[in-house]
Structure formats: C-alpha cells, structure tokens
Structure 1
Amino acid sequence: MLYVAHRLFAAHDRALGAQTARILGETAGDDNVFLPFCDTDEEDLVADIKGLRLFELDSARLRYLSGMLALLHGPSLDDGVCMEIGFAAALGVPVVALTTDFITYAATPDGPSWSFPDPLIDFLAADVISARTLGAAPEGRSGRFADFEHRNRAQLVEAVHLACQRLLELTRPAQVNDQKPAREQRLAFVEPSPYGARADGDEIGAKLHELGYQVVTANRLSVNDRLDGAAADWATAISADLLVVDVSGPEAPPGAAAMIGAAVARGRTVLAYNPAPAWTFAHGREPNWRNLMIQYGVSGMFATSAEIKDLVRE
C-alpha cells in the first residue's frame, strides 16, 4: 500500500493530494494507493468521536505501507504530515517528500542548505523532489494570468510524476525491530521547542532525573552539521523508553511531530508539553488542541513539570 500524506484543511491542498494519488494510481493501481480524507470518507463519516476514529483509520493504514509520498509546503510544515513521515520512517518504509516551494534553509548565509525548516525531515526522506522552477510558458498566449497558472500547473505535474516514479523505485514492506536495547537506566529523549527556550525546560529534565531516567536532549539545531545532528537525534529518540516533546505554538514543530510518529509506531510513551493549548474546530469533529494525529498519538499532555509523574507509565 502506498500512502499519500498531505495537508487536509484547504481545498487546494486536497486537490493536489487527489492529483498526486491519481497519477500514482496510474502506475501502481488505484487499489494500492491510500489517500486520507478521501479514503476515510471524512466528509460523510459518522462516529461518536470523529477525530479519534479518523486517527485510528489512518494509523491502521500506516502500519501496512510499502511507501509514502509526502507533500510539504512552506516554512510551517503540516504537523500531521510530519507525524506520518516519522511513523513510516520508524517502520523502515521509504518516504519521498515532494516540496512545492522554492525556499531552502541553512545554518549560515553561505553554508550547506537543506529543503525543510528542520533538517530531521530531510534526513528521514529517502529522496526529496522539488517543484522550484516554473514550467515552460505555453506556445499560444491566452493572457498573463492564464499563462502564469499554466506554468505553475505544469511545474506541479512534472514534479508529481518524478516523485511517483521515485517512490515506486524505493517501495518495500514495513519492517521494525521493537526490542528495546538493554540498559541499566531508562532513557528519556526530550525534544525542546525550536522557537526558543521554555521556562519549564530545566524543570522537565530535573523531574525526569528524579523519576530515574537518563535524559538526552535534542541538539541538531545547535551543532555545525545539522544533518549529522539530525541522524544522532533520531537514533537516540527511536531507542528511548520515553519521549517528551514541546508542541507549544500554533502547530507542533516538524521534528517534534516526526518524533511523535516514530514513538507511536514503536509503541513508546510520548508526553506533550503544551502550557497554553490553542483549540481548533473543524466541521463534524470534536474540538482539538492539536492536529488529531498528534492529539491522539501522544500518551498525555502536561502544562507543568509537576504533572509528569502522573503521566509516566512504570
């Protein structure tokens, strides 16, 4: 099964997802492609807790993938898509990322660049296909706006075809080793906010030490080689017994979301620090304090370090 991960909440994003799934299905077969929202029948789905049911349906599909094509745009990446990328990567499923903007990122003005705000997403992607250059202008001019629309559509179609072709070259069944490494002390991996230090940061680490955990904090955004740092953070995070992530802000940061997906795939405990949740509302769904893939993926949410003890599973 091939999974098209994409932002769901705007019609143009769903249209791009559908276009991608259609092109992928032309080669792989429509029955071998899963498109969220469409294939969970979200518009007409009836459930006591709709968001939870959607999480269950999508998570069930994620466990039986042979490949994922993830659509990503702009500096604020969709946290649900990033969660799904982490889930797939933790199971050894290849992820091809298709980025539809021309932005790249670097630690210094003249340093090596990567495609996404958090280099962890670059590290997890088996390949990145970019739609950064406009397509060729049409031969018969029909007005500057129509011509510009054509050039953008051509740009997207070409990139989608390339991404689908690359994904089909990489597909393989999900495989995961769920055995935890033998260690004398339980390991907690802490993923801080990339947007600045939080007042509770030191207190969270101290509380985890108090509960008997060895604590390792992500540092990929503070080292010289960010991609090597991403690899080191990922290796530690997926072997940890406990993941603690700062998801505060308008949406979970990309790396935090990917780490959550990996922990869910491997059955690890995930605690989300969110001192001031911002609630969102979507037609037919229950209120959410975060993207539903994050909200239902985590084991518990806390606002102060004092609450951690009651959330940690012994």
Structure 2
Amino acid sequence: MKIYFANALFSQADFAFNAQLVARLRQASPALDIYLPQENAAINDKNAYADAKMIAQADTEKVRAADLMIAILDGPTIDVGVATEIGVAYALHIPILGLYTDSRRLGATNQQKLSALQQVAENQFHYLNLYTVGLIKLNGAVYTDQEALIDAVLKRV
C-alpha cells in the first residue's frame, strides 16, 4: 500500500515527529510504501533550490500515486501545504486519515470551559478549519493518538 504522509517539515520538531511516526508505521508493516516528503532531497533540501512548480509537480505526483494519505492536523492552524494536499487527495478519491493530538481539544464536558465560550476572546478550545476537516471526514477519519492511527492504517493493509 502506498501512503502519502502530509505534515509540515520545516522545524526540527516537525522533522523529528514525522521521522518517528513514519518509522513506527514502517516497522508495523513492511507492506507499507510511505512517501515522506522530507526524505525527497530533490525538492526539500533547503540548502539547494527547487522552484514552486518543481515542488508542486513532485508532491502531486506522489499524492496521485497514493492509496492512502496520512495528514497531520496539529499546529496553530493546519499547515497550508497539508491543507492543499488534503484537497488534492479528496478530489482524487484517495482516503485520508488525519491525526489531531492538540490537547486543547480536551475538556468538552468542563462547564467552565463551555461557559467561557460566551465571553469574547476566552475560547479554551483549539479551532481547525471545518472545510478541510470535512474533506477528511467525507473520505476517511480523524484520530487523536498515534496508536489509533497506526491501527487504522494496518486494518487497510
């Protein structure tokens, strides 16, 4: 099964997280052929040069070849590149599994947090763009921890 792994890749934290989760997936099933964009030095070695068309063509080719997309939704907002990749995958009817681990999603039954929503600038919860999340949910699912995501991937192998 070919998987496209979509996440930001510009900070050391993102780079390490991506490598760690992809290593776990590869270890869980050798049948997985995972494209991790940060491993494609031709377009993502930031000491070198790749223009916008080169990046768009290379990554779109890999999305088109995928049987499944994993999209990381964490961050202040969904990474704009990830959101674009989600749109392409959705348009091509490629199933998408999202991972959303942000701790601010917790506390939905906490009355103080719910009441705070009535006050200006006191939202205690994190917001994800509903259009982008909707594309995922129309053709996949969103998980809140790595183990559940890995299990979902393995059920598709």
* Length-normalised TM-score, structure 2: 0.73
CA 1:31/1:102 → structure 2, altered by over 3 Å: closer, same or farther? closer
1-side partners of 2:143 and 2:127: how far apart?
Answer: 12
Shift of 1:169: 2.8
Shift of 1:56: 1.6
Q: Please identify runs of 4+ aligned residues in structure 1 that moved more than 3 A.
A: 44-47
Identity %: 25
Matched, 1:129 2:143: yes
What is the total number of aligned residue pairs between the two structures? 138
* Length-normalised TM-score, structure 1: 0.39
3-state SS of 1:37 partner: helix
Contact 2:25–2:32 (CA under 8 A) maintained in structure 1: no
> Considering only aligned residues, what root-mean-square deviation do their CA atoms show, in Å?
3.0
3-state SS of 2:39 partner: coil
Matched, 1:102 2:100: no
Q: Choose 1 or 2 for highest CA Rg.
A: 1
Aligned to 1:52: 53
- Structure with the bigger RCO (C-alpha within 8 Å, sep 6+) is 2
3-state SS of 1:73 partner: coil
1-side partners of 2:16 and 2:35: how far apart?
Answer: 15
Contact 1:72–1:97 (CA under 8 A) maintained in structure 2: yes
Deviations 1:73-110 (A, max 9, x none): 1442210001111111111111111112123499x949
Q: Is the helix fraction higher in 1 or 2?
A: 2
2-side partners of 1:78 and 1:68: how far apart?
Answer: 15
Letter of the 2:74 counterpart:
H
2-side partners of 1:92 and 1:59: how far apart?
Answer: 14
Letter of the 1:12 counterpart:
A
Shift of 1:170: 4.3
Shift of 1:10: 0.6
Shift of 1:51: 3.8
> What 5-or-longer segments of structure 1 have no aligned partner?
131-158, 172-314
> What 5-or-longer segments of structure 2 have no aligned partner?
109-114, 119-124
Aligned to 1:73: 74
Letter of the 2:38 counterpart:
F
